[in-house]
Chains A and B, each alone.
Chain A
Amino acid sequence: MPLNPALDPPATPPSSSAPHQRADARHDAWFRYLVRACALLVLAALVGAMLSTLWGGREVLFGDGLHFLTSSDWDPVNNIYGAWAPIYGTLVTSLIALLLAVPASFGIALFLTEIAPPWLRGPVSTAIELLASIPSIIYGMWGLFVFVPFMASIEPALSATLGRIPVVGALFDGPPLGLGLLTAGIVLSIMILPFISSVMREVFQTVPARLKESAYALGSTTWEVVWHIVLPYTRTAVIGGIFLGLGRALGETMAVTFVLGSSYDLTTSLLMPGTTISSSIANEFNEAVGLHRSALIALGFLLFVVTFIVLLIARLMLRRLALREGRS
């Protein structure tokens, strides 16, 4: 120990910087723990939600073996529950929504990044973002009071034309109620459109100009540039955006509940009413007791499983694409 610290200046810098370094290291460690805790929180919430729905639905999920998964018989009076009708409705409406929303979003994003004059990009982008901010109950009301009557007026024409085609015909055969799986799918497609198109627009903008310019210089048309340059460059993000939309479609509740018609009958026709997992829960949870409540919670668990499987398929698709790219 120096008697007078002022006489020993060289000793001070290391002695003062060492605690600094130690403090820095400590802060770093705290920060690491903090962000790790944030990440774990998400995991914990997910696992917690899954386990609690599994626990809440245990009486039905483990009570009847596979009956709950395979049967479409939903009879609260006799306490018989089969989840197939809601699962089917969820998958079909989401599929219709994707089939309609993906091409449209692609067109929107393409128009906004490649074709639209700059003064138009701002307003159209804002309009799309506004579409995303409309609450789903508004879509439900609009669907019920405006869109359902419209569908009812065009469905006879659908049955008369598409309904005549041999195999596909069964999908469009039915009474012109205006509500049902097709209507729900279309409303859903409008709801997920802004999600998919804004992701696509964002990532299309990240494509380096020189890549596109080179292609144009080689004489490519706009379509060729988009199909061969922009899309392969952004493929991962585009698929991510599509699955973001699909995630919303699978879980959407209110809008679907209003226009779907809530029926547990399984039909091939898209014009017939159906039900989805989330709309069944929203409809019945309020007054459900005992096994009925357990069945609805089990439905919630199944929505986890369905979403998980869909995400898994997305991952596999991406991996396949990456592999094929490596080979070619």
Chain B
Amino acid sequence: MLIHYPHKLRTLAIAAACAFGIGSAHAADITGAGSSFVYPVISKWAANYAESSGNRVNYQSIGSGGGIAQIKAGTVDFGASDAPLDEATLKKFGLGQFPIVIGGIVPAFNVPGIEPGKLVLDGPTLANIFLGKIKHWNDPAIVALNPGLKLPGKKITVVHRSDGSGTSFNFTNYLSKTSPDWKSKVGEGTAVKWPVGIGGKGNEGVAAYIKQLGYSIGYVEYAYAVQNKLGYTRLKNAAGNVVAPEAATFQAAAATADWAHAQDFNLIMTNASGEKAWPITATTWSILYKQPKNAEHTKVTFDFFRYAYTQGKDAATKLDYVPLPDTLVQKIETYWKDDFKQ
């Protein structure tokens, strides 16, 4: 039997070598799991990092909830979550967390006759649209924000995510921060009870619905909106300025967010105070044990993220993510030094 299938055997041997990391003698294999939002950029970083250091990073995109469960169980070296863990949980499990990369969430719309970027909205108006209180495109609240724009008297179709996602979490967090009504009636979460609208699965589902159903509005990740050339809105931020979603405004949000007072980077960047800050800016947190069972792996993990923060900037930008501002990276380095056993 075995003699007859040398080819199969060889394949098996190679597969085994890959699985058990026999290929590279000295390199460490670290594993991570969680948020699907950062999966594209982490896999790109991992490929580049493996070339330069020989260490391999295996990241499984299983969702933030799964990532948190895996790191708590200690089956991975780092977890990744779109929502930060609170202080009590971090303390209870001896975990620490820090941001990985920045992304933005943009309201996307499809109204014939209105070009991308021409429509301006603010938090309370957006919340009222998603609450079903503002039903038509020519509602006085929208007209007031868009003088000179010809708005049709058509019904608004609201599109939201049907699957639990960090995108929804950050979006509903922003609505909760800007609209007390939204906060009391709906609240924030990866999945919420949407008062109106239809649910699309994933960014692609939401985008497809927005494209097909005219006079619709939804929200998608910035990278997705750019790659699919969706009509995005500009937003009025906390400082009262109208800003467009782009790398500069995302970085402004990350730079002006109040990290100094955020223990363990437990801060959601939405509605940041900066002059030019995009109000729905989001990040994903990497979660690790502060007293790891395998200190060597934690060291490699930090090395990987250090690589990502410095040499990985181009790769992130190419994938339409926004690298962390240098000030924030310095804070993270200090955090690693002070809080983690390496």
Contacts and interface: CB of A to CB of B under 8 A. Distances in A.
Interface string B194-213: 10011111000100110011
Contacts of B65: 286-289, 293
B63 interface: yes
Contact of B199 (A73, A77, A152, A262): A262
A139 interface: no
B198 A144 contact: no
A292 B248 CA distance: 37
A263 B157 CA distance: 13
A273 B190 contact: no
A213 B88 CA distance: 81
Contact of A77 (B36, B165, B193): B193
A285 B201 CA distance: 12
A284 B163 contact: yes
Interface in A53-84: 73-78
Nearest to B192: A77
Contacts of B163: 282-284, 286-287
A77 B201 contact: no
A111 interface: no
Contacts of B187: 77-78
A136 to B, nearest CB: 13
Nearest to A292: B191
The CB with the most chain A CB atoms within 10 A, among B155, B166, B197, B198, is that of: B198
Interface in B147-183: 155, 157, 162-166
A149 B64 CA distance: 33
Contact of A264 (B68, B193, B213): B193
Contacts, number: 94
A152 B211 CA distance: 13
B186 interface: yes
A152 B214 CA distance: 11
Interface stretch (A8-16, A93-101, A120-128, A173-181): A173-181
Interface in A194-234: none
Interface residues of A, number: 34
Given A148-B212, A175-B157, A287 B190 contact: yes
B82 to A, nearest CB: 9
B193 A286 contact: no
Contacts of B221: none
Contacts of A179: 198, 209
Given A179-B198, A261-B199, A284-B163, A75 B66 contact: no
A31 interface: no
B164 A263 contact: no
B212 A263 contact: no
Nearest to A264: B193
25 contacts: A74-B193, A76-B189, A77-B187, A77-B192, A78-B187, A175-B155, A175-B157, A178-B213, A179-B198, A257-B162, A257-B201, A258-B201, A262-B199, A262-B200, A263-B198, A263-B199, A275-B162, A282-B163, A282-B201, A284-B163, A285-B164, A286-B66, A287-B63, A287-B64, A287-B164
Interface of A: 73-78, 144-145, 148-149, 152, 175, 177-179, 257-258, 261-264, 273, 275, 279, 282-289, 292-293
